Structure 1
Amino acid sequence: MEEKPRTVAFALAIVLVVATTMEMSLASGAQGFCNMTRDELMACKPSISTAKPVEKPADACCTALSHADLPCLCAYKNSGMLPYLGIDPNLAMQLPAKCSVPAPAQC
């Protein structure tokens, strides 16, 4: 069962990459990717970054992850671009467990 949280975290990292590399015209509070705003996505980035990652995810990150559309995040799970974009896949895989967020059954 360890694989499901890792898949969701990996997918979350992909969404972070998309959010940071695309110009998004999101108003504050508007939903962007997988029921998460750009600000919510960015709240998770420090915990999965290859450059001086923080050990404990921000409360805002965990709150956002708890209401995110996790099956949507799972759709991004097979991308291999994370290391090239400054995202540590191992750290990304740990994010759901660190936030105590269960993974969806179909991920």
Structure 2
Amino acid sequence: MEAHSIAPSHHPLDMPMMESSKAVTIWIMTMILTLMTIAAQQQQQQPPPSMPGEAGGCSRTFFSALVQLIPCRAAVAPFSPVPPTEACCSAVVTLGRPCLCLLANGPPLSGIDRSMALQLPQRCSTNFPPCEVIN
């Protein structure tokens, strides 16, 4: 008799879930590396100055402002057709214009379309004036 090796099979419906899990894991790892890089850069630099016209500027660090906007991730991904959710818009309002402008003028972030991020206040129907992006 011939012995046959039986390879474990995956149910076809499991494949999209596994692909999705891989994508989420990769995104999380990328964000962790990006945030670690930003934290290291912030330790070497002085805090950014207040934006023009902002009394006191943002009271948060770049990292904590970025974490606040996690609910907006899908709405600011490159080429994303996803509108901001209620949770995203709530985070935008809570964060406020000074901190949004801090993020807009921070280092580039992998997986985030900066121009889409700058449109969040308008897309969330807030009355924030646009941020001045400093090059």
Normalized against structure 1, the TM-score is what? 0.52
Q: Are residues 45 and 63 of structure 1, via their aligned partners in 2, closer, same or farther at CA, if it must alter by over 3 Å? A: same
Aligned-partner Cα distance in 2 for 1:33–1:92: 16
Instruction: Please give the secondary structure, in 2, of the residue aligned with 1:100.
Output: coil
**Which residue identity lines up with residue 45 of structure 1 in the other structure?**
R
Aligned-partner Cα distance in 1 for 2:122–2:130: 15
Q: Are residues 76 and 43 of structure 1, via their aligned partners in 2, closer, same or farther at CA, if it must alter by over 3 Å? A: closer
Partner of 1:68: 95
Matched, 1:89 2:114: yes
Q: C-alpha deviations, 1:10-50, integer Å up to 9, x for none?
A: xxxxxxxxxx3337xxxxxxx9724x8x3x42110101102
Normalized against structure 2, the TM-score is what? 0.43
Given that 1:71 and 1:104 are in contact with CA atoms closer than 8 Å, whether structure 2 keeps it comes out as no
Report the RMSD for the aligned CA atoms in angstroms: 3.2
Partner of 2:76: 48
Which ranges in structure 2 are unaligned for 5 or more consecutive residues?
A: 1-30, 37-59
Query: How big is the shift at 1:89?
Result: 2.2
Q: Are residues 53 and 103 of structure 1, via their aligned partners in 2, closer, same or farther at CA, if it must alter by over 3 Å? A: same
Given that 1:57 and 1:95 are in contact with CA atoms closer than 8 Å, whether structure 2 keeps it comes out as yes
Partner of 2:126: 101
**Which residue identity lines up with residue 64 of structure 1 in the other structure?**
A
Matched, 1:58 2:85: yes
Q: C-alpha deviations, 1:69-106, integer Å up to 9, x for none?
A: 32133223333524xx1211222222111101222698
**Which residue identity lines up with residue 33 of structure 1 in the other structure?**
S
Which ranges in structure 1 are unaligned for 5 or more consecutive residues?
A: 1-19, 24-30
State the identity as a percent.
31
Q: Are residues 49 and 99 of structure 1, via their aligned partners in 2, closer, same or farther at CA, if it must alter by over 3 Å? A: same
Higher CA-based Rg: 2
